Structure 1
Amino acid sequence: LGLGDQMGYARLVEALLNIQLEKSQSRTDWARRPLNDKQVAYALDDVRYLSQIFPLIQQRLIEKNRLSWLDNDFQQLSDAQTYLPDPEQAWKKIRSAQNLKGVQLAILQKMGSWRENEAINKNRPRRWILGDEVLVDMAKQAPKNKSDLSPIRGANSDYLNQYHATWLHLIQQAQQMPPTQWPNLPIREKLNSHQEILADLLMMIVRYQAHRHNISPPMIASRKQIEKMLINGKQQLNNDWRGSLVNETFANLLAGKSQIIIEDGIVKIID
């Protein structure tokens, strides 16, 4: 709808209703009670305009024949499976894992899985359980007893006292795994020089079509998605509304059926 891809609620209310929301209570500690009148009004602002915004957005989508575009997106967003984490794969989200190897990665996987399950069960952020740097230090040092765990910076003392035996057991389990079962770092394939040029060309088409349809380019595809597509040996996006905007142009341009021209400083793609 041309509203941008990083449109926050306050900006959306202002753009559609020309109403500026109050921001003075944004740092409120909402756990403290009772709330004063300003805090209550601020909280109500989060929902009071939704009933006015919804029909405006819906009508714009209908007018542009784009309501069906969102069906697949909404289906995915409302599917609980989309949000179910895989604890065994949690270690891959730890950036410093790149500095580990061999059995260190096995330890990180075990500890990362434990932290993920603990965070889910306690409904707390992962870092409140154990920070990434703590897990990495454990993987590097492979502590053998509680006294080895104590010097590790950032380890919560309460968790250390409560779970040190569990952690040491997990570390021992990892060390007993045969090397064939150690996890491997994900290999990030890189584009070759020809693919880099092709990715630039396809991203130009994405931006071109986004401009034509007055939508933000990342809503169609990001550079990372285009690179992944090429690495996987494909030259088209999925057959959803995003693909419908660019796939035919991709195919025609790559087959030499279309060409890019610049006319009066404006980029055009013609057949």
Structure 2
Amino acid sequence: MGKLKIPQPVWITSDETLSDACQRWLTEPYLAVDTEFIRTTTFYPEAGLVQIADSTGCTLIDPLQIRDWTPFAEVLQHPLVVKVFHACAEDLEVCRRLTGVMPSPLADTQLGGAFAGLGGVMGFQRLVKEVLNINLPKEETRSDWLKRPLREEQVEYAVADVHYLYRLYPKLMSMLKKLGRQNWLSEDCDQLLLGAEKSEKAGAYYRRVKMAWKLRPQELLVLQHLVLWREEEARERNVPRNKVVDDNALWNIARFKSRHREQLAKAGVSPAIIREDGDTLLNIVDEVMAADKNAWPKQLDRPLSPQAGQWLKLLKEAVASKAEMLGIPPELLARKKALESLVRSGFPNGPFRLPDSLSGWRKAEIGDYLIQILQDQTRVIALRKVSHDQSIV
């Protein structure tokens, strides 16, 4: 790391110095932002460092010393200051945890690199090597960022990441401009923010449980309430969800409607949770089983039929071909979930409706073509039906 030409960082360890720095950042066209955190045994990421690079250099904010994040929240939401991250999903959580807001407008260089034709899900080191021809080591990725003082190697690692992120961004934007894809990045970053906001809405978390589609509506309601309880407990205890109860155990409780502690054990609930929360879990089942049918959720979609699966295969092939022409990963053009949603929207007779994830720039690049493919399939079915009816006559 010592051979890298990186600036000496300015440390921020007080609310006053953070406020002063934020006034300066409000005048910058863009900021490179990175965070270091620990999340091995907790539900929430625990911030250990926030790094900022601007036109004057690099700044390290010690979140263990800051109490008032209001000025930084203003920076994160200023509409004329682009906040640049790389693979930002967990960084967004850290920002929201510290400040209560999400950074907007946002630019993610991992997405930018993919849209520029540099490859799929690229790590930061690889992208820096590709664009800036600089080798960054990875040794400090799993450091203890909550321990003080930080080691010199940790500080250099943290500064290098945000310093080269700042240099990377304009080069990527220049590449995207030549390809006419700047709006692709801005649209997808807006969708990232929307997705991060929706992730806080726990009411639909039960849909993520594997095999939830096999449950009947009343069982789904049990699962929904169990998942909500687990979410509240995981956040309250600040532990990962599966440290409370894992998905498989919750599914078993819902499917077999556990009424006794012995049944909780058979479902896969740990003895410690049964001792502490067994009555609560059983009460949830009892209360939901007594609920009116009007409260039952709609049964989840079953897997596609074999014929619908063939239509899905046609769409995947079309996406793969178009993605190859564009020089981007197929999953970035259209994910399987979006294609399934498109098939389900009108199978087997149409009409078909593009899901939100295939709107915007994707509609012109692939969405309208996918609709055409499905409409062609419905015409084939209609012609076969007419031919069949005529043969009977």
TM-score (norm 1): 0.75
Deviation (angstroms), 1:39: 2.6
Match status 1:225 vs 2:356: no
Deviation (angstroms), 1:110: 1.6
Match status 1:34 vs 2:149: yes
Query: Who is 1:9 aligned against?
Result: 124
Between structures 1 and 2, the one with greater strand share: 2
Amino acid in structure 2 at the alignment position of 1:24: E
Q: 1:79 to 1:236 in 2, by over 3 A?
A: closer
Contact preservation (8 Å) 1:108, 1:135: yes
Instruction: Give percent identity, aligned residues only.
Output: 28
Deviation (angstroms), 1:3: 1.8
Q: 1:190 to 1:79 in 2, by over 3 A?
A: closer
Aligned counterparts of 2:311 and 2:284: Cα–Cα separation in 1: 46
Contact preservation (8 Å) 1:119, 1:129: yes
Aligned counterparts of 2:237 and 2:293: Cα–Cα separation in 1: 33
Please give the root-mean-square deviation of Cα atoms over the aligned residues, in Å: 3.4
Contact preservation (8 Å) 2:119, 2:328: yes
Aligned counterparts of 1:162 and 1:115: Cα–Cα separation in 2: 13
Aligned counterparts of 1:67 and 1:203: Cα–Cα separation in 2: 25
Amino acid in structure 2 at the alignment position of 1:206: V
Query: Who is 1:268 aligned against?
Result: none
Query: Who is 1:66 aligned against?
Result: 181
**Which SS does the other structure have where 1:49 is aligned?**
helix
Where structure 1 has 5 or more consecutive residues not aligned to the other structure, the ranges are 257-271
Contact preservation (8 Å) 2:333, 2:362: yes
Amino acid in structure 2 at the alignment position of 1:77: L
**Which SS does the other structure have where 2:182 is aligned?**
coil
TM-score (norm 2): 0.54
**Which SS does the other structure have where 2:138 is aligned?**
coil
Deviation (angstroms), 1:222: 2.9
Farther-moved stretch of structure 1 (61-70 vs 222-231): 222-231
Higher relative contact order (CA 8 A, sep 6+): 1
- Cα offsets for 1:116-149 (capped at 9, x unmatched): 233344554321332223323433361446x775
Q: 1:125 to 1:226 in 2, by over 3 A?
A: same
Q: How does 1:1-271 map to 2 (within 5 A)?
A: 1-79=116-194, 82-97=197-212, 100-101=215-216, 104-139=219-254, 140=256, 142-144=258-260, 153-155=268-270, 157=272, 160=274, 162-178=276-292, 181-183=295-297, 185-193=299-307, 195-233=308-346, 234=352, 238-247=358-367, 249-250=369-370
Farther-moved stretch of structure 1 (17-26 vs 2-11): 17-26
Contact preservation (8 Å) 1:134, 1:155: no
Aligned counterparts of 1:206 and 1:127: Cα–Cα separation in 2: 36
Q: 1:223 to 1:75 in 2, by over 3 A?
A: closer
